[in-house]
């Protein structure tokens, strides 16, 4: 009877080992599938953006385009950069440069916020669109967004001739990271 009991225990032990192996295999396969899904869709998860057919036109500000087709630009930057611009009421007024949050666009929050800040306070305002979002060609990535934003900053200082000491940058959500990067420059 002792021998029988020990063979039952050994059999039970190996059954438990097989069950644990099976559970671990299922867990590894499941985690691999989740990681594969996240890797494949990472860009659309990090940069959820409105589709081109959902682009809101700029209703109040000036629609500006900066042609960068002939410039040495990183992958993902389209041929033109886009912004929504309100000129400052005077040289004494600041110009605010704004980057919106994910899944938004300059035709939405930038246009409305710019109109309010310009009409009520006289501030200049530029809402910068990300590559691949709504009105702007390209594909969003950290590199394409930073390059495009830096180029738009150069545009307002050199082309629009705004005083860099009278420019303030800010952002909403993911736009805060871009604004911080521009402020550091």
What per-residue confidence (pLDDT) applies to 59?
A: 87
- State what percent of residues in the chain have pLDDT above 70: 96
Element counts in the chain: helices (H) and strands (E): 5, 5
Q: What's the predicted TM-score (pTM) here?
A: 0.77
Residue 150 pLDDT more than 80?
Answer: yes
What per-residue confidence (pLDDT) applies to 4?
A: 74
What per-residue confidence (pLDDT) applies to 130?
A: 94
Residue 159 pLDDT more than 90?
Answer: yes
What per-residue confidence (pLDDT) applies to 3?
A: 64
**Mean pLDDT of the region 84-95:** 94
**Nearest to 81, CA basis, from 129, 124, 48:** 129
Mean confidence (pLDDT) of the chain? 90
The Cα 125–Cα 129 span in angstroms is 13
Please give the structure tokens belonging to residue 32.
């691999």
Contact call for residues 85 and 62 (beta carbons, < 8 A): yes
User: pLDDT grade, residue 1 (50/70/90)?
Assistant: low
- 3-state secondary structure (DSSP) of residue 165: helix
**Mean pLDDT of the region 115-142:** 94
The Cα 181–Cα 147 span in angstroms is 11
User: pLDDT grade, residue 2 (50/70/90)?
Assistant: low
What per-residue confidence (pLDDT) applies to 168?
A: 97
Alpha helix ranges (H) inside the chain: 2-40, 42-46, 111-121, 142-154, 174-184
Q: Minimum mean pLDDT among 54-58, 76-80, 103-107, 162-166: which range?
A: 54-58
Site of tokens 């060609």: 137
**Mean pLDDT of the region 58-71:** 92
Residue 26 pLDDT more than 80?
Answer: yes
What per-residue confidence (pLDDT) applies to 56?
A: 78
Residues ≥6 apart with Cβ < 8 Å to 169? 96, 97, 98, 99, 153, 179, 182, 183
Q: Identify the residue with better confidence: 129 or 3.
A: 129
What per-residue confidence (pLDDT) applies to 68?
A: 97
């Amino acid at each position: 009877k002792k021998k029988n009991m020990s063979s039952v225990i050994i059999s039970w032990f190996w059954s438990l080992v097989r069950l644990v192996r099976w559970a671990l295999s299922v867990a590894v396969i499941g985690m691999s599938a989740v990681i594969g899904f996240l890797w494949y869709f990472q860009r659309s998860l990090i940069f959820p953006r409105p589709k081109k057919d959902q682009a809101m036109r700029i209703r109040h500000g000036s629609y500006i385009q900066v042609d960068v087709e002939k410039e040495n630009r990183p992958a993902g930057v389209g041929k033109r950069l886009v912004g929504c611009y309100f000129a400052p009421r005077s040289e004494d007024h600041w110009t605010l440069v704004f980057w919106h949050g994910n899944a938004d666009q300059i035709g939405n929050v930038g246009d409305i916020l710019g109109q309010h800040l310009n009409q009520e306070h006289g501030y200049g305002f530029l809402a910068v669109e990300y590559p691949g979002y709504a009105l702007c060609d390209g594909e969003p990535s950290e590199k394409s967004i930073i390059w495009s934003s830096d180029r738009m900053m150069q545009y307002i200082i050199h082309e629009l001739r705004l005083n860099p000491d009278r420019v303030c940058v800010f952002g909403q959500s993911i736009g805060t990271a871009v604004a911080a990067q521009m402020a550091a420059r």
